[in-house]
Structure 1
Amino acid sequence: MAVDPALNTDMMLRSEDIPWVPQGSANVWFKPLRISLETGSWVNLLKVARGGVVSRHRHLAEVEGWVVQGRWHYLEHDWQAVPGSYVYEPPGDVHTLVSDSTDETEPMLTLFKIHGPIEYMDDNGELAYVETAESKLKRYHQYCEEIGTEPLQLVF
């Protein structure tokens, strides 16, 4: 379902039309906005509610984030991201994201641009699985099927 690049057209999506897809950890969801199978990159909103943790992972390419709401930090760093913060993560960075939001009504929301695969690690530091643009798209499509909604065209 790729968009024909010869069309050379703008794209506009309404994020409220895209479901929050469970990320795999408790209290963590993503909302894919764009997936590029050509470049292996994707853009998504990440939502982490009170007590939510994104498991320890390594980025194989750079990542950029912009905090929209709430607060979060990495266990491995000494800074805290707050609304309006821009976060840059170089290739090879390893970290565990923890939401500092304490109110269920205002979870952490961050817009992330992921430029390549992510390696998730188990409790022993061993590779558990690799997230790619393809696996992100597959997870989105599976969730849409599960909840009985037609997936939107996010590949462009």
Structure 2
Amino acid sequence: MFCDQVETSVIADESLPWVPFTPYADDVFLKYFKLDPIRGEMIVLMKAPAGKQLPKHHHSGTVIVYTIEGRWKYVEHDWIAGPGSVVFETAASSHTPQVVSEEGHIQVLNIVVGDLIFMTPDNQVLAIENWKTGLQRYLAHCEQHGLTPRDLTAFR
């Protein structure tokens, strides 16, 4: 059976670099665990400093965000996510992320399906982020810092 060939794997957090989220924010860092070209999915940690606001973005697919540390919200909502909370974002939703922690940083685990379309304040498309742009950013970072990249398109 094919399922007998599926191998359970683990990727150690310390084996992956924090990659700056340029050109959007040099003080926001991403740690890519999986960039899936088949499902169009990214599994990525994000770390952002207190008081940071990122550009508004629109989702083509769903996003699940688990908060590890810090507090954050979307400008468009009145809830605040803190450690241990899970936020589920539906496809076709738009938000402006904002770190509300007064010191330190937030760290969140994101499972993103499809595209994140970053927008200007007047709703013009600024850029599109997905597994492909994540892979390009990761590979460029590895090359710039003399790191041997892992194959993040396969979970092994």
Cα deviation for residue 6 of structure 1 reads: 9.4
The aligned counterpart of 1:18 is 16
Aligned residue for 2:131? 133
Corresponding residue for 2:118? 120
1:54 shift after superposition: 2.1
What residue is the counterpart of 1:74 in the other structure?
74
1:8 offset after TM fit, Å?
2.2
Taking the aligned partners of 2:136 and 2:4, their CA distance within structure 1 comes to 25
**Tell me, which stretches of 5 or more residues in structure 1 are unaligned?**
none
Counterparts of 1:132 and 1:69, CA distance in 2: 24
| More divergent stretch after superposition (35-44 vs 15-24) | 15-24
Q: TM-score, length-normalised on structure 1?
A: 0.90
1:16 offset after TM fit, Å?
A: 1.3
Q: CA deviation at 1:26?
A: 4.1
Query: What aligned pairs does 1:1-156 form with structure 2 within 5 A after superposition?
Result: 8-23=6-21, 24-104=24-104, 107-156=105-154
Point out where structure 2 has 5 or more consecutive residues left out of the alignment.
none
Indicate the SS of the match to 1:19: coil
CA deviation after TM superposition for structure 1 residue 12, in Å = 1.1
Number of aligned residue pairs: give it: 150
Structure 1 outlier segments of 4+, above 4 Å: none
Q: Deviations over 1:69-89 (max 9, x none)?
A: 000011111100000001000
Distance 1:79 1:142 in 2: 36
What is the distance in 1 between the residues matched to 2:71 and 2:77?
A: 14
The 8 Å contact of residues 63 and 88 in structure 1, kept in 2 or not, is answered as yes
Report deviation, 1:13.
0.8
* Separation (CA, whole Å) in 1 of partners of 2:88 and 2:43: 14
TM-score by length of 2: 0.90
